[in-house]
Amino acid sequence: MSFQEDAARIPVGSEPQERIVAPPVPGRSRPTRTAAVWVAVAVGLVLLVMLIVFFVQNQDEITVRFLGFEGTLALGTTLFIAAVGGGVLVALAGGARILQLRIANHRRNKTVGGPL
Q: What is the mean pLDDT of the chain?
A: 83
Higher-confidence residue of 73 and 31: namely 73
* 71 SS3 class: strand
pLDDT of 9 reads 63
Could you tell me what percent of the chain has a pLDDT over 90? 40
Instruction: Tell me how far apart the alpha carbons of residues 93 and 17 are, in angstroms, rounded to a whole number.
Output: 54
pLDDT of 66 reads 86
Instruction: Tell me how far apart the alpha carbons of residues 43 and 51 are, in angstroms, rounded to a whole number.
Output: 12
Q: Is the pTM of this model over 0.85?
A: no
Instruction: Tell me how far apart the alpha carbons of residues 87 and 83 are, in angstroms, rounded to a whole number.
Output: 6
Q: What is the CA radius of gyration of the chain?
A: 30
Count of other CB atoms within 10 angstroms of residue 76: 18
Of the pLDDT bands very low, low, confident and very high (cuts 50, 70, 90), residue 29 is: confident
Is the pLDDT at 103 greater than 60? The verdict is yes
